[in-house]
Structure 1
Amino acid sequence: MQTLHYLTLSVLIPPLLSFFAEPGALFFEGGATNVGMIMDWREMAGRPTVRGMQGEDRWNAYYGAWSGGKQLGSGWVEGMWDGRTDPMRGWVIAFSWMFASFADIYYLCILVRRPRLLLDFALTLGFSHIVLTTYYSASIPTSLFFWIVMFTWSATTVTIAEQICVKREMTEGLVISPPRDEVDDLEMGELLRRD
């Protein structure tokens, strides 16, 4: 499930970011295909992911963006990256998560199939993502926006998937027989043929 979820996000996020996000700010973060766009909670929250120098105060700590050993931007220099993130990027990633919830509903209904197990699978998927994103970013998610997206994603996924699976179980478990009049006609036809 986790693999299918991340595969869905990796198909959705790069094209949407390439189209909607600011290209300059996206370049300094490693591009639209950077794994941090999926795994770093700060990307969804719209917080800077650039590391600052030790000992500097909070507002002057961004000294540049580095990728592959090369400095891509030097912070507050005129004409260069200014240390801010693109606010549209967080909305695009959040929209991708919500769209991925519908793919997750499909995956859960096909692979898990049991309504009583869906809650466990969906919440395990969400909890695993929180553990992985905490490990990747080396900080516990503190953004209210991130937690709202995670809660909305899990509520949507669990509610809709359970409804679909219950409906499927109800239709598979019940045998629909023809109306009684048709059964009587069939029985009379059988009796007439035997004679």
Structure 2
Amino acid sequence: MATGWREEFEGFPASLRRLVEAELAAGNAVAEVHHGFPAPPVGACLVLARPVSTRPRASDGVLSFRARESSLLSGEWSDTAGAFFVLEPPLPPAEPPDMDVIRAAMVPVAQPAASTPDAELEFDYRGEMLTYREDGRVATIICTFGDPPRLLPRTLNGWRLPDGQGWRPITPAERERVVKRIIDICRQGHGMSRIDLKE
């Protein structure tokens, strides 16, 4: 402890002096002694170089402890009168979050195609598209993968036919049947208990 602080330290209550002396014996150090916050004008503050390690960081009948999570301090100790304080320095800042990990967690994991004996459904999460196959023909429908997923039946408007036979429009009745089939496959094959329709 710096010589100039020793006289200040002698004015602290015995309970706080014992705490500081135990910390110094354990290898801690005094960073500064001052008369600012949180001590009132009649008291003083002693700031340790490291958090207290020689006793539990909890109040007892002699010392009062309060955890502080700020850029100024991480904890404060005071006697019952609350005029003198032993302060712990702020904790090192937390590591910044790994944005690559956060972004990766936001992208749904690709799911394999779900199928039944007569149909197959592929999921394109990034493109927000479902591809439905039956009897060799293919149709696509937009599906926004929110909570819950939402199908847009109006985007299911045609079949790509097999073997380069071209394209054929889907009738309203056929659209209704295919949308119902897609919902059934989503529920049975992918556990999507709720799917909304947006016209």
TM-score normalised by the chain length of structure 2: 0.24
**Hey, which of these two has a bigger chunk of strand by percent?**
2
TM-score normalised by the chain length of structure 1: 0.24
